[in-house]
Structure 1
């Protein structure tokens, strides 16, 4: 894999403010047009966010802009498919701008909203790929990381009560960090 590049992340896909206690990070392809956060059919993000106790009320995609006032930030790790002459395209993780955004925000915890997102970050940072959920034992820009099960409909094979319990583990972790 190529080393991470230093281009900026997509600012219209970021809801970060200095002082938030938690940043929740997913992944986005550079070529994907920005859209509302976690608005896809079958996506349980907003239900998990509330049910875990991370926010005091049930919100939805149109309420995303309220999250920084509740101490939460949303952003994405940008991943790009890069073609090289004579080689198969490879995926490039844009980790450095992501790390700078986390440094500027200074949350207590950075939670990856799927093992896929955490794996991409770990590979780009030279860290051990997470084997499960919870704290992977490495940091993002000096902040403890946490791995959540994905909220998308594609992850509906994992029962909702189990996903909810794992998201509640994040709330507990955040309370003790």
Structure 2
């Protein structure tokens, strides 16, 4: 799954791993029930709701997308702890190379597993990667019943405000 990444990013969003539909289409957050694209728009990051096929347009807003683990799966629960740890190490290298202002990991459990921080919670983290600040957002999957779309958009908006937009 190719990253949507470039120089001068304000926020690099980091999903857990590609779902099967995303892997098939080559577009991040491609499953219709995923709420990433609506939350991104409703939070004010984008002036309209982009479709997964328009993911490269994110770069015009100084936004990007990557994943912790590259391997596609039907559910994140299929991934091993070793994959998360290796993915976290690769993510650190990627962030140090691209140097976004913010890294936003979409899923607190993925963040905990990748970085070994068992008590991490949604929101701004003390950790930085080089000069990049780190924020945890809720997982936008439709399976995450703890967050309705309005609550998810509000969480994204907190990051948008912290990122200076």
Tell me which interval the TM-score lies in, with the shorter structure as reference length: 0.7 to 0.9
Instruction: Give the equivalent residue in structure 1 for 2:53.
Output: 62
- Cα offset for 1:78? 1.9
Mapped pair 1:107 → 2:96: no
> Is the Cα–Cα contact under 8 Å of residues 101 and 131 in structure 2 kept in the other structure?
no
Q: Which stretch of structure 1 is more off in the superposition, 35-44 or 145-154? A: 35-44
Instruction: Give the equivalent residue in structure 1 for 2:91.
Output: 98
Where structure 2 has 5 or more consecutive residues not aligned to the other structure, the ranges are 72-79
Q: Cα–Cα, structure 1 residues 33 and 43, in superposed 2: closer, same or farther, change >3 Å?
A: closer
- Cα offset for 1:90? 5.2
Q: Give the greater-gyration-radius structure (CA).
A: 1
Instruction: State the Cα deviation string for residues 6-65 of structure 1 (Å, max 9, x = none).
Output: xxxxxx431111111110001227xx9834211113111100001111112210101101
- What TM-score, normalized to structure 2? 0.80
Instruction: State the Cα deviation string for residues 111-148 of structure 1 (Å, max 9, x = none).
Output: 0011122212321xxxx335421112112344110010
Instruction: Give the equivalent residue in structure 2 for 1:135.
Output: 124
Structure with higher helix content: 2
- Cα offset for 1:159? 2.4
Mapped pair 1:73 → 2:48: no
Q: Cα–Cα, structure 1 residues 79 and 13, in superposed 2: closer, same or farther, change >3 Å?
A: closer
CA RMSD of aligned residues (A): 2.5
Instruction: Give the equivalent residue in structure 2 for 1:22.
Output: 11
Map 1:1-177 → 2, pairs under 5 A: 12-28=1-17, 34=23, 35-78=26-69, 91-92=82-83, 93-94=85-86, 95-123=88-116, 128-175=117-164
Where structure 1 has 5 or more consecutive residues not aligned to the other structure, the ranges are 1-11, 81-88
> Is the Cα–Cα contact under 8 Å of residues 15 and 68 in structure 1 kept in the other structure?
yes
Count of equivalent residues: 152
- What TM-score, normalized to structure 1? 0.75
> Is the Cα–Cα contact under 8 Å of residues 115 and 130 in structure 1 kept in the other structure?
no
